[in-house]
Structure 1
Amino acid sequence: MTDQEAPKIEFPCEYPIKVLGREHDNFRPAVLAVFERHAPGFDSKTIVAKGSSKGTFVSLTITITATGPEQLKCLHEDLIATGHVQMVI
């Protein structure tokens, strides 16, 4: 078996990011604050929110114009650091 190299992403590009956390009043504001810090001017009208069947969790899919891997790494780290985010996909 040969090791395949991961596909390269050409930046800048439109990049959807799904953020999952527990349904809570502070979840959405905390997530949006991180996105504003790392991807200012993203189109908030494109945010797709979905709740879990029992209403315990919510996911937000937010599309940004990604400028590079460092931006995505910092965004991910800051989202997790909020304490409200369970997973970033």
Structure 2
Amino acid sequence: MSTTPTTPGSDPRKDSLIEYPSLFPIKVMGTKVDGLVHAITAIAEEYDPQFDASTIELRDSKAGNYLGITITVTATSREQLDNLYRALSSHPMVKVVL
């Protein structure tokens, strides 16, 4: 066992509150338009090759103008999640990613 203290930032896997790999839900909100779910699914599959589209959860907004989409990906690293969040957030149909 090492007696050398670990400094913050020295090993991102140990500094994270997430254990990798793990199932990680991401909520996406976008204008309810044709193609939104397909676009979100394609992005999820790009960053998680084992993504199961049958696990997608959909919720209409009260007025029906927006669609909430929850995708659950297998998170393998902080870098993967950061890149996935960037890809989702930058998509023109997406308003919010949580």
With the length of structure 1 as denominator, give the TM-score of the two structures: 0.87
Distance 1:65 1:41 in 2: 8
Q: CA deviation at 1:7?
A: 6.4
Structure 2 unmatched runs, 5+? 1-14
Alignment: residue pair count: 84
- Counterpart of 2:52 (choices 43, 46, 52) is 43
Correspondence list, 1:7-26, <5 A: 8-26=17-35
1:86 partnered with 2:95: yes
| Structure of greater relative contact order (alpha carbons < 8 Å, 6+ residues apart) | 1
Aligned-CA RMSD value:
1.4
2:5 aligned residue = none
Runs of 4+ in 1 over 4 A off after TM superposition: none
Q: Unaligned regions of 5+ residues in structure 1, if any?
A: 1-5
For the residue of structure 2 that corresponds to 1:32, the secondary structure is helix
8 A Cα contact 2:36 2:93, kept in partner = yes
Letter in 1 for 2:43: V
- Secondary structure of the structure 2 residue equivalent to 1:76: helix
Please state how far the C-alpha of 1:81 moved relative to its aligned partner.
1.8
The match for 1:28 is 37
Cα distance in 2 between the residues matched to 1:26 and 1:42: 18
SS of match in other structure, 2:19:
coil
Aligned-pair identity (%): 38
Q: How has the CA–CA distance of structure 1 residues 36 and 7 changed in structure 2, closer, same or farther, with 3 Å as cutoff?
A: closer
